[in-house]
Structure 1
Amino acid sequence: MFKDERWEGVYSFEDSPYLMEILTTLRSKQTKNIKFRKGLVKLGRYMGYELTKTMDFENIRIETPLEGTDGVAPGDRDHVLIITVLRVAIPLMEGLLKTFENAKVGIVSASRGKAPDFEIDMSYTKIPHITSKDTMIISDPMIATGSTLLKTVKELKKFGNPKRVIIVGILAAPEGIDAIKKELPEVEIYVTKIDRELNKKGYILPGLGDAGDRAYGEPLDISLPQMHNLE
């Protein structure tokens, strides 16, 4: 885990050859949907393991069949709420749940509009009650402009105040991190890698394209036929 000195509370995993190998596969335009989704699951699981190193655990005393010894109980790991930003965060959430198997899960449907306004449409939220013991992990693979995550975090505040708010992503642009940390300095950010910049359309460069389309296929734009009055 690598702490980026440009911001407080921002970490990447650029020091992990294994994760860089997975990221390289995700970036390649030759990678098909199934392999792309499996890569997101792998990253979620590994990043979940790394997050446990930042959590509080409870020291306990147990008895083995031979003698007493010290051990640890889950502590914070048993008080995790994973927020999934639809649709591409589903495989990332799946990986996180392999580490945080007792986690509660919330769903947010949010989509970003086109440049230059990048307006956010948040059409659906289903969030469990948030307690002061919870570590809230928001899974959203691409931190581009940061506008989706800013609106998501502000919406989530209506449901309670967690112990920690963590954003887990695959790639981030410096512009997105700047926007989030400016308004929400307490939010922690963990990503596989921080890329160079955004282009004019709000895509991360070098990036990996539209992560939702890469994971699930490009959606068809089908318009319903016009209905005419029948005489």
Structure 2
Amino acid sequence: MQVHNISKQNSVLNTFLSEIRDKSIQTDAMRFRRNIERIGEILGYELSKSLQYKTSTIETPLGNCNIDLLENDIVLCSVLRAGVPFHNGLLNYFDKSENAFISAYRHHKESPESFEIIVEYLSCPNLESKTLILADPMLATGQSMTATYKALKPFGKPREIHLVSVIGSNDGVAFVKSQFNNNTHLWIAAIDETLNSKGYIVPGLGDAGDLAFGEKLQH
């Protein structure tokens, strides 16, 4: 798997990352959602550079213009619920893509440190020979990303796969690298060093879903 850590090069992306991490700023849910959306836009732009293009002729009021246009058939799949603003950011740039949504959550067993990923809801078009962009804002353990992809397999084999995340951990990146083939790309805004005992990224930012949409009852 090819990993593209976008924050390795300084850009305005760092501003949006700092604000979603800053506990004095991230309490503004609308601003948090908008920053997640903007990060999705930046990652979508970077991802677009690796896709396939075909020259088309456009007629302007004064003549003709040749320009290379995107020709991939894209399916954009996001993990609910934290993935909603992230999905919107990617969709702003891949506005002609088909869309899929899937719910994946941690079901804790005997202790907060022990959990399994439960997939309940799934809506997906045909994936056969298409470009799949699988988006999950937080790549902590990597289990949600892999469980999501396994759930999508009955819908067809994509021509190529791009994973997109806001923040990941070294462990999460290593896990998805072991689960996806070498032709898969991971586009990520930042990679943090560690996970805590509950499987959350440190320093991370907390619970992205709660920060975007409010705290939820545990079950």
- TM-score, L = length of structure 1: 0.86
Give secondary structure in 1 for the equivalent of 2:115. coil
Sort the Cα spacing of 1:68 and 1:23 in 2 relative to 1 into closer, same or farther, 3 A. Answer: same
Distance 2:87 2:10 in 1: 20
Contact 1:83–1:136 (CA under 8 A) maintained in structure 2? yes
Q: Report what 2:145 is aligned to.
A: 149
Q: Report what 1:33 is aligned to.
A: 29
Contact 1:118–1:147 (CA under 8 A) maintained in structure 2? no
Q: Report what 2:204 is aligned to.
A: 207
- Structure 2 letter corresponding to 1:35: R
Please point out which of 71, 74, 96 is paired with 2:70: 74
Q: Report what 1:84 is aligned to.
A: 78
Runs of 4+ in 1 over 4 A off after TM superposition: 62-69
Percent identity, aligned pairs only, is 34
Give secondary structure in 2 for the equivalent of 1:113. strand
Please point out which of 14, 19, 26 is paired with 2:13: 19
Q: Report what 2:136 is aligned to.
A: 140
Does structure 1 residue 45 correspond to structure 2 residue 41? yes
Query: Which structure would you say has the larger Rg?
Result: 1
More strand by share: 2
Contact 2:167–2:189 (CA under 8 A) maintained in structure 1? yes
Give secondary structure in 2 for the equivalent of 1:201. coil
Does structure 1 residue 178 correspond to structure 2 residue 205? no
**Could you tell me how far 1:66 is from its partner in structure 2?**
4.6
- Structure 2 letter corresponding to 1:200: S
**Could you tell me how far 1:45 is from its partner in structure 2?**
1.2
**Could you tell me how far 1:49 is from its partner in structure 2?**
1.2
Please point out which of 63, 81, 88 is paired with 1:94: 88
- Structure 2 letter corresponding to 1:87: R
- Structure 1 letter corresponding to 2:87: M
Does structure 1 residue 165 correspond to structure 2 residue 161? yes
Contact 1:173–1:194 (CA under 8 A) maintained in structure 2? yes
Please list the CA deviations of residues 166-208 of structure 1 after superposition, one character each: whole Å capped at 9, or x if unmatched: 1111001011111111121343211100111111110101100
- TM-score, L = length of structure 2: 0.91
Q: Report what 2:3 is aligned to.
A: 10
Contact 1:81–1:136 (CA under 8 A) maintained in structure 2? yes
Contact 2:194–2:202 (CA under 8 A) maintained in structure 1? yes
**Could you tell me how far 1:112 is from its partner in structure 2?**
1.4
Contact 2:51–2:70 (CA under 8 A) maintained in structure 1? no
Distance 1:82 1:63 in 2: 30
Q: Report what 1:123 is aligned to.
A: 120
Distance 1:71 1:119 in 2: 48
Q: What runs of 5+ residues in structure 2 fail to find an aligned partner?
A: none
Give secondary structure in 1 for the equivalent of 2:150. helix
**Could you tell me how far 1:104 is from its partner in structure 2?**
0.8
**Could you tell me how far 1:113 is from its partner in structure 2?**
2.7
**Could you tell me how far 1:145 is from its partner in structure 2?**
0.5
Give secondary structure in 2 for the equivalent of 1:200. coil
Q: Report what 1:55 is aligned to.
A: 51
**Could you tell me how far 1:65 is from its partner in structure 2?**
4.7
